[in-house]
Amino acid sequence: MKTGILGGTFNPVHTEHVILVKTAIKQLKLDKLIVMPTFLPPHKNIIPAPAEDRLEMLKIAFSDVEKVTVSDFEIQKKGKSYTFETVEHFRASDPDGELYFICGGDMLTDFKTWRYPERILAACRLAVFGREDYHTDYKAEEDYFNKNFGCGFTKLDYIGKSISSTKIRVYSSFGLDVKAMTGEKIEKYIKEKGLYRSNRYADFVAKVLPEKRLIHTANVLVCALKKVKELNLNYDKVMTAATLHDCAKYLNPDDYKDFTVPAGMPQPVVHAFLGAFIAEKVLGIEDEEIIDAIRYHTSGKAGMSVLGKLIFTADMIEEGRVYEGVEKLREIYDKDFEECFKECLKEEVVHLLNKKSMIYIETLNAYDYYIKNGEK
């Protein structure tokens, strides 16, 4: 019996998971492929949707895919899910069979940090697929595996498209369409069960922003969340600042009697300052770092917090932005956040100069502080 295992949080399952499973069954010539949601992932801090809902969504997604079994083994075991325990369990149930554990190239790079990697490889063989948003040096990894573990791995001829479960959750929280990423049945289940429901800040922006700007806001949030761990930022603060950064984009300052437009402020910057006012005075946010990040997400300023830099940068390079040079900025973002922030600041100043637009004093101050003086 040739069996494959695909584990994961599946928070939620999406269309790329289904394509991957079908590909693995065909290329590995599997008799069975076990899809298994974790109860709690060992390497993630995000609390996923309830286990029973993730399990049910998997059953729906794979209901018409032959040779697939959805297992609740790790859910029933509870606690954090460790791969060595899972593969040893299924090896024991079929000691003479061939067992493959399917993982992405990004996981392959981190495999040496997993708990008891030698026990994993004693129980199964890794089957690895590529991802379009992650470069893996397979030759270097194979050399490492052979030297340190005495075995290699099987490379699947498959490059997974960049569909992010984070994006699905964020879009769902804003009430945006996700069926292109999940399929119609899973989108319906998410809505009916109220999974990934919005908080009051997402509710607010969903009411005051048109769909196009709401999509932009969701994309900024997705982009910013990619850097939370790397930059050692508070997840909830990033969520709040990114969600509300454009909340005043289509609101009239005259409707807020206690708000005064600062002297000499260009019109395109006003919404950022009004957004900070609304965050504090209307929505009751007391965290000055969040308010400041909203206030300066358009103009920048000298001496920004890391959160402020992140919202400024994500606003400029989120996946919906289309302008010459944005792809290069995204490449830099993946490799060096501080460098990307400074390049975005340069891009903003050049853009305003080319348009012969008025440049706000805070933008010039930021340029002098970070570019001319080289401060961080």
- pTM (two decimals): 0.90
Q: Which of 339, 289, 290 is nearest to 313 (CA)?
A: 339
E strand or H helix at 5, and its extent?
strand 2-8
Q: Which of 254, 304, 253 is nearest to 276 (CA)?
A: 253
Mean pLDDT, residues 100-104 taken together? 96
Confidence category of residue 44, pLDDT binned at 50, 70, 90: low
pLDDT of 376 above 70: no
* Residue 355: Cβ-neighbour burial (10 angstroms; 0-12, 13-18, 19+): exposed
pLDDT of 130 above 80: yes
pLDDT of 78 above 90: no
Q: What is the pLDDT of residue 223?
A: 97
Confidence category of residue 205, pLDDT binned at 50, 70, 90: very high
CA distance 192 to 271: 35
* Residue 289: Cβ-neighbour burial (10 angstroms; 0-12, 13-18, 19+): middle
Q: What is the pLDDT of residue 374?
A: 72
The tens digit of pLDDT for each residue in 143-184 reads 999 999 999 999 999 988 877 899 999 999 999 999 999 999
Mean pLDDT, residues 219-242 taken together? 97
Confidence category of residue 373, pLDDT binned at 50, 70, 90: confident
Confidence category of residue 45, pLDDT binned at 50, 70, 90: low
Q: What is the pLDDT of residue 109?
A: 87
Q: What is the pLDDT of residue 41?
A: 65
Mean pLDDT, residues 326-332 taken together? 97
* Residue 348: Cβ-neighbour burial (10 angstroms; 0-12, 13-18, 19+): buried
Confidence category of residue 43, pLDDT binned at 50, 70, 90: low
Q: What is the pLDDT of residue 42?
A: 59
CB atoms within 10 A of CB 363: 22
Domains of the chain: 2-163 (3.40.50.620), 198-372 (1.10.3210.10)
Mean pLDDT, residues 260-272 taken together? 95
The pLDDT mean for the chain works out to 94
pLDDT of 47 above 70: no
The tens digit of pLDDT for each residue in 295-304 reads 999 999 999 9
> Can you spell out the DSSP letters for 119-135?
HHHHH-EEEEEEETTB-
